[in-house]
Copies of this chain bind each other. A is one copy, B any other.
């Protein structure tokens, strides 16, 4: 059903809500409110209630939300109540940081295999992973039933890698290369470009703030 799809911008906020809920649980909190969630996130309580209303009714009038229950519900809605297997393409410094980034595994995102095209890296270790030749991408994606990918290669290689991933049926790509990928409908791409974010902030750094 496409007709009453949840707006993508709403979906994008759910992981942030999930994050706050996990913090609240860590603090031992049982109950919260849209007001408190909004305060913690710098958004309005109305927006929180509206966003949640796309998925169901999770609260109790006069009381608020059960933190653990809402957390569990959002986890299900986001499909993150399971493990996801990913491939990492690019075993440079960024790849190095990514294989050591514990939050992936902590949230159910497992790196199944790591690839590079550099003969000096292939066959060696990156953290606890063997670095495979990019030639083995197709075999290993199928073997490990991988569904997501992280592109951490230079911009010149990114499009080719993306095309191969898409041909393999990968439907979710996290792209660290500073390019805009053209992908078929149904393929999700998220970009991380810290330079673009710094430039965005630089705009406001004037003598008289704009």
> Which A residues have a C-beta under 8 Å from some C-beta of B?
1, 5-6, 11-12, 14-16, 18-20, 40-42, 77-80, 84, 86, 93-94, 96-98, 100-101, 103-104, 107, 109, 147-148, 150, 171-172, 174, 178, 180, 182, 186, 188, 190, 192-206, 209-210
Q: Which residues of B contact A193 (CB under 8 A)?
A: 15, 19
Interface residue SS majority, chain A: mixed
Residue of B nearest to A182 (CB): B42
A15-B194 contact, Cβ under 8 Å, with A5-B210, A93-B97:
no
Q: Is the CB of B40 within 8 A of A107?
A: no
Q: Is the CB of B194 within 8 A of A174?
A: yes
A100-B107 contact, Cβ under 8 Å, with A174-B194, A202-B78:
no
What 8 A-B pairs have minimum CB-CB distances, sorted nearest first? A97-B97, A15-B196, A172-B201, A190-B197, A15-B199, A93-B100, A188-B201, A79-B202
A198's partner among B42, B84, B93, B97 (CB-CB below 8 A) is B84
Q: Is the CB of A19 within 8 A of B174?
A: no
Q: Is the CB of B192 within 8 A of A209?
A: no
Residue of B nearest to A181 (CB): B42
Q: Is the CB of B15 within 8 A of A200?
A: yes
A203's partner among B14, B86, B180, B204 (CB-CB below 8 A) is B14
Q: Is the CB of B195 within 8 A of A103?
A: yes
